[in-house]
Amino acid sequence: MKVYGLQHVGFTVPDMDEAVAFFETVFGGVTVLSTGLVDVDDDYMRRRLGVPGNCRIEDIKVLRVGNGSNLEIFRYSGDPDPAETLKRNSQPGGFHLAFQVENANAAADRLRASGVDVLDGPNHVDAGPMAGLTWCYLRAPWGQYLEIVSMDGPLGHERDGSLAQWSPKLNR
């Protein structure tokens, strides 16, 4: 099997309009696809998507954000426990999305000024395999953790001869 790379990251949000507006406004995202209601039966939902049969996909939107993987955003209805909280990053199944920006310090200032919930930082790593990375976590309006990162050159592990991470800035 030949793998080309990561094509998209998919996740579910409670309010599609809020999520799309957030990614468009904060990160310059562009919606490239919208499905509207996916008209399938209970069996399809259980067997193909692993969700309760009474759930339905109200909409799927795919956004392009810069030069990287697509974001596939779902809005479901019918979940018996829609108020269940998002998993923390420390829990299995918890995750975050990271966006590479030109300058994490300037980006964090801009995000804070626009009312985004930005955690402490940005934080610069001076030593070790991640030396040269500046990073900062933030939260989307629905609680999803996101991260902004910038790099001031090759990271520490790359300077030691390890394979470089893929970078949307360098497209490598």
pLDDT in tens, 33-46: 999 999 999 999 99
Residue 83: per-residue pLDDT: 59
**Structure tokens, 19:** 């999520």
Q: What is the pLDDT of residue 82?
A: 59
The total number of residues written for the chain in this structure = 172
Contact 73, 57 (CB under 8 A): no
What local confidence, expressed as pLDDT, does residue 161 receive? Answer: 84
Distance in Å from the first CA to the final CA of the chain: 21
Average pLDDT of span 4-19? 92
Contacts 24+ apart (CB under 8 A), 161-166: 162/129, 166/5
List b or e across 99-112, with b for residues whose CB sees 16 or more CB atoms inside 10 angstroms.
bbbeebeebbeebe
To the nearest whole number, what is the mean pLDDT of the chain?
A: 91
What single letter denotes the amino acid at residue 158? E
**Phi then psi for 110, rounded to 5 degrees?**
-65, -45
Q: What pLDDT is stored for residue 152 in this prediction?
A: 83
Residues 66-117 have pLDDT tens digits of: 998 999 999 999 886 655 678 888 888 888 999 999 999 999 999 999 999 9
pLDDT classification of 130: cutoffs 50, 70, 90? very high
In the chain the domains, ranked by start, together with CATH numbers, are: 1-78 (3.30.720), 86-165 (3.10.180.10)
Rounded Cα gap, residues 68 and 3, in angstroms: 16
pTM: 0.89
Tell me the C-alpha distance between 51 and 167, whole Å: 34
